[in-house]
Amino acid sequence: MGDAEQGGQGGGPGAPDPDGDGIFQPRDDGQLHFLPGTEDSAFPVTAPENATPLEEDEPEGTVPPSPLWAMKDRRHEQLPHLFGHPHRIRACIGAGDDAIYAIDDGRRHCMLGRRVGATRDGCVYSLVTRVPIDVYRSLASGGLSGRDAFLAGSDAGLSGTVDEPGVSNVFDVDFYERPDDIPAEYLPPAAFIDFAEDLPTADR
């Protein structure tokens, strides 16, 4: 695993307790509830029986769960093919705080994502946007900066991802109608943010 795939993951202060002593507490019916006092600051996550990992069908292992799930959730098109399709993209451009991940969105577009930060309960936030394929190619070739690539996109937004044993969830946090609406601290090459508390979720 390269440097670009290690930031913001793993244990550390405030990392979720695998025994269920963190914010999310398991119940016998397979659902999760919150510890008292956390209902207004945490997003509800369910743990269905025989849950399917959201990272399935990702043999490349190039893109971490966040922003992978957020990009899959927001992309417009998916091109199914029995043996895969020639337009499939799974890429990491740059490293560390400069890392930008990409997946295909049809033949003419691509989804870009970068990890913005994380909270103590293990929720990782990622900025994602949709760009023309030529923007992705310019970024990959070094002809365009990561910041300019995101500012050239559309349908940009911030998504949260929870990845726990038996729990896989992605949810919307914010939408940005114009590139200028994206907070500067979320754009590359801004440093990874340790959020003190969960961010409010967006209403679809």
pLDDT at position 86? 67
Per-residue pLDDT of the chain (204 residues; tens, 9 = 90+): 444 333 333 444 333 444 444 444 444 434 444 444 544 544 444 444 444 445 456 777 899 888 998 999 888 876 555 455 667 899 999 998 889 999 999 889 999 999 999 998 889 999 999 999 999 999 999 999 999 999 999 999 999 998 776 667 889 999 999 999 999 999 999 999 999 888 888 754
Neighbours of 79 (CB within 10 A): 13
**Burial (CB count within 10 angstroms: exposed 0-12, middle 13-18, buried 19+), residue 120:** middle
For residue 138, what is the enclosing H or E element?
helix 133-141
Cβ neighbors of 109 (< 8 A, separation 6 or more) are: 76, 77, 130, 131, 132, 133
Residue 80 lies in a domain: yes
| Under 8 Å between Cβ of 112 and 131 | yes
Q: Helix %, strand %, coil % for the chain, to 5?
A: 20, 30, 50
For residue 151, what is the enclosing H or E element?
helix 146-151
Q: What is the DSSP string of 176-189?
A: ESSGGGS-GGGSTT
pLDDT at position 153? 96
pLDDT at position 78? 65
Residue 21 lies in a domain: no
Residue 5 lies in a domain: no
- Terminal C-alpha separation, the chain: 35
β-pairing, 90-93 vs 100-105, is: antiparallel
pLDDT at position 80? 56
Residue with tokens 């070739």: 141
pLDDT at position 5? 38
pLDDT at position 84? 56
Spatial separation of the C-alpha atoms in residues 138 and 140, rounded to whole Å:
5
Residue 11 lies in a domain: no
Q: Answer yes or no: pTM beyond 0.85.
A: no
Q: How many structural domains are present in the chain?
A: 1
Q: Which domain holds residue 105?
A: 52-194
Residue 16 lies in a domain: no
pLDDT at position 75? 87
Residue 33 lies in a domain: no
| Under 8 Å between Cβ of 139 and 151 | no
| Under 8 Å between Cβ of 164 and 88 | no
Residue 109 lies in a domain: yes
Residue 42 lies in a domain: no
- Helix H, strand E, coil C: the string for 186-198 is HCCCCCCEECCCC
